[in-house]
Amino acid sequence: MMFPQARHSASSQSTQPLKFTTSDSCDRIKDEFQFLQAQYHSLKLECDKLASEKSEMQRHYIMYYEMSYGLNIEMHKQHQQQVLGAIDRAKQVTPPEMNSIIRQQLQVHQLSQLQGLALPMTPLPLGLTPPTMPAVTSNSGLLSLSSILASHAHLAKDDKSSRDGADGHRDEDGDKSD
């Protein structure tokens, strides 16, 4: 409670005995009423100010919410358009283009592995050609792509083991191969 402390302390500090006359009591009541009315007025102004700030904050919140919702919708539309464009482009890819893309991806992957190992790239010896990828038909899907990659890895292993055997290296049993 916000009562003026100065008024109470002044009356207790006086050396005169308190006189309780009707006019003094009315004056004290009038002063206290005016004080309470001023306090009420200042609190009402503060309450009105806070209410206007609240309504302003609510307007800002609604505005930001609407903007966020609109941006979210727009982002989803753009994402869907990109996906639809990618699907349409994927439907138009021909088997030769697919082979070219696969070769490029394998080359990039092999280059990144070689660069990661910092090994120098050496050209293939004369007479040897890089292994070729089987053709991808329009009916084949991602499963056939994985089998192609697996067969490519298997061909590379077979090619390496056949070269090791031809060079006269020992096989796993320690026997010399002929």
SS3 content of the chain, % helix, strand, coil (to 5): 70, 0, 25
Q: Give the residue extent of every domain in the chain.
A: 26-93
More confident residue, 4 or 104: 104
For 131-160, what is each residue's pLDDT tens digit?
Answer: 554 444 444 455 555 556 566 555 555 555
Q: What is the average pLDDT across 156-166? A: 55
Tell me the two tokens of residue 144. Answer: 């056939």
What is 5-38 written as a DSSP string? HHHHHHHHH-SSPP---HHHHHHHHHHHHHHHHH
pTM (2 d.p.): 0.36
